[in-house]
Chains A and B, each alone.
Chain A
């Protein structure tokens, strides 16, 4: 047996549910090949001794693990239900606040629309007045359209006569 195989076997030794972990009790759980190997290999023998000593001292000092109370699972399920409710309320909250604010939103929109419309109408009207004023001032100072001179008319009328 190789040292690595021995270590693998050592780490696979189950923890004692009752009673103390001793060198003898651990050795007894090993395979014959592993026992022979630990007899020959000092390092692996030391590893086995360390395991027995460590288990013994840890088991003595650690005591029983903290245990869940009898209602632990129910409490977890209660906490899950509460969290789900929170999430649901959060989702509903957005829509319900939209619903609650809808009349106010509509009123604000109507006011904005009215103000915007009035402003646009006024702008348009001001533009029209401006254009009309410009047109009227142009016609005041504009020179009348030149009528053909009578002489030219006469000249053209006599043209071609003997």
Chain B
């Protein structure tokens, strides 16, 4: 019986089995999108990066020795690729609507519309901008940890693997990051009141 787990699929893909690699893409695309979406906010960028990640993975698969999980290796490529995009552009990672050109903003709204069918797009955008402002007080790495952990449901071990840091460091940083944003929310609410 053919075991279709990652290990087996990777082994087959390393022997130029394209179907096996396509199965790996299908299996991991959602989480690659989630990781990239935690760093980049522009949907087009996320899609481009995700495609680039799988291309890189395919062409370096023969060098992957399977000592770590394929998913961890893939997410690590994703994070590096996203940071590369940001470094090349030398812009802040979070894109507000005001930063977009009219054409981009329209496409962004259209993409949102198609994506979740929400009737009130401006509300979605507002929420997103609020989230971006809320997370601005955190370092890039802490922001990524927080989004991956508390929104996308990644485990501490997975995050530690992706960012190549100790699990305890992840826990401590998450603890502090949460403290920071909760304080910020409380201050904001107090100011409103």
Binding site for B on A (CB under 8 A): 7-8, 11-12, 14-15, 46-47, 49-51, 53-55, 57-69, 72-77, 79-80, 83
The B74-112 residues at the A interface (CB cut-off 8 A) are: none
The B118-169 residues at the A interface (CB cut-off 8 A) are: 124, 127-128, 130-131, 134, 146-147, 149-153, 155-156
Q: Is the CB of A72 within 8 A of B171?
A: no
Cβ of B116 under 8 Å from chain A: yes
The B16-49 residues at the A interface (CB cut-off 8 A) are: 18, 21-22, 25-26, 29-30, 33-34, 36-37, 43, 46-47
Binding site for A on B (CB under 8 A): 18, 21-22, 25-26, 29-30, 33-34, 36-37, 43, 46-47, 50-51, 54-55, 58-59, 115-116, 124, 127-128, 130-131, 134, 146-147, 149-153, 155-156, 170-171, 174-175, 178-179, 181-182, 185
CB distance from B51 to the nearest CB of A (A): 6
> In the complex, which residue of chain B has the Cβ closest to the Cβ of A74?
B22
Q: Is the CB of B55 within 8 A of A79?
A: yes
21 contacts between A and B (CB under 8 A): A8-B171, A11-B171, A15-B151, A15-B153, A46-B179, A47-B175, A50-B182, A51-B178, A54-B150, A57-B185, A58-B151, A59-B150, A63-B128, A65-B152, A67-B33, A67-B115, A68-B47, A69-B47, A73-B22, A73-B29, A79-B51
The complex places the Cα of A51 from the Cα of B185 at a distance, in Å, of 13
**Residue of A53, A69, A80 with most chain B CB atoms under a 10 A cut-off:** A80
- Give the chain B neighbours of A72 by CB distance below 8 A: 25, 29, 47, 50-51
CB distance from B163 to the nearest CB of A (A): 15
- Overall SS of chain A's interface: helix
- Give the chain B neighbours of A66 by CB distance below 8 A: 33-34, 36-37, 43, 46-47, 115
Q: Is the CB of A63 within 8 A of B33?
A: no
- Give the chain B neighbours of A15 by CB distance below 8 A: 149-153
